[in-house]
Amino acid sequence: MGTKVLKFTRTYLYLIPVIVLFGIGVLSRTATSLTQTEVSASATGSCKSESQTGLIDYGNVRAMFEGRDLELPTEALAEDTNMTPVLGVANPSDRWIEVDLSEQKLRAWDGKALFLETAISTGLSHTPTPKGEFRVWMKLRATKMEGGQGKYYYYLPNVPYVMFFENASVPGFKGYGLHGTYWHSDFGTPRSHGCVNLPTPVAKELYFWTSPVLADGKSVVRASNENQGTRIVIHE
């Protein structure tokens, strides 16, 4: 009888490593979810903004990204002096933006003429950038983005020149957009949580090139029937 019990338990002894790992996993998961409550937005993989005033928050100049603590460059905080919408050859409604995920390139088209081309960083494999045809629905001069879990945690105040886009299947609240990037410069390789990361100077140009057209001195604009957003096509 005694040996039978021993043999019975010995079989299950082999499961101890698995059970211990499982226990550690549950504990660590509980610990992270207790310490970070504001993760719901990022879990779906996007870069939702926290504020919609579009104003630069000069008191908030420290950022966290992938475990690194960094200070905002002056570029991201610079005042835009005398910026008026860039007038191209074509009608603003002929303007559109092409995002090529496989090439990691963005091209801005003025009708058939190329306005600019740049290397970009789109979503990583676990937080992909959505594909399809979109329109810009809101532009913000600056906004705070926060989310991610554990090592992925990011806190990015004053993300510059944000152009959020949406379509029928990817609604605006999901928080996908084009924006300037001060926390890395690996353009040409996927790096983001779903947004399209642009070099800040390029983001600035696009910000004033795209519609909805920004009123003078304002730092936020939403698209409307009279002031429609620029078309964005994202493809493989």
Partner 1 sequence: MMTNPIITAANTFGVFVFVFAACLYVYWLGRRELVFHTLLSVTIAGLVTIVLKELFLTPRPFMATGESPMAGLAYLSSFPSAHAAVAFAAATTVALHTPRFGLFLFLIATLIGLGRVAADVHYPIDIAFGTLVGVSIALFFENAHIRARKRTKLHR
Q: Residue 125: exposed, middle, or buried by beta-carbon count in 10 A (0-12, 13-18, 19+)?
A: exposed
84 interacts with partner 1 by CB under 8 A: no
**What CA dihedral angle connects 73, 74, 80 and 83, to 10 degrees?**
-60
Q: Which of 105, 107, 144, 184 binds partner 1 (CB under 8 A)?
A: 184
Q: Tokens in use for 53?
A: 């005033």
**Residue 42 C-beta: closest distance to partner 1, Å:** 12
Give the H or E element holding residue 32.
helix 16-35
Residue 118 DSSP one-character state: E
Dihedral sign for Cα atoms in the order 164, 197, 93, 130: negative
Q: Tokens in use for 57?
A: 């928050």
Q: Which of 3, 11, 84, 91 binds partner 1 (CB under 8 A)?
A: 11
124 interacts with partner 1 by CB under 8 A: yes
Q: Could you tell me if 117 and 107 are in contact, meaning their C-beta atoms sit under 8 angstroms apart? A: yes
Query: Mask of contacts with partner 1, 49-78, x by CB under 8 A?
Result: -----------------x------------
The piece of 56-64, 133-141, 188-196, 210-218 that touches partner 1 (CB under 8 A) is: 188-196
201 interacts with partner 1 by CB under 8 A: no
Residue 37 DSSP one-character state: -
Q: Which of 52, 131, 132, 150 binds partner 1 (CB under 8 A)?
A: 150
**Residue 17 C-beta: closest distance to partner 1, Å:** 5
The piece of 23-31, 74-82, 135-143, 228-236 that touches partner 1 (CB under 8 A) is: 23-31
Q: Tokens in use for 105?
A: 């390139």
Binding site for partner 1 (CB under 8 A): 7-8, 10-12, 14-18, 21-22, 25-26, 28-29, 32, 66, 124-126, 149-152, 184, 186, 189-191
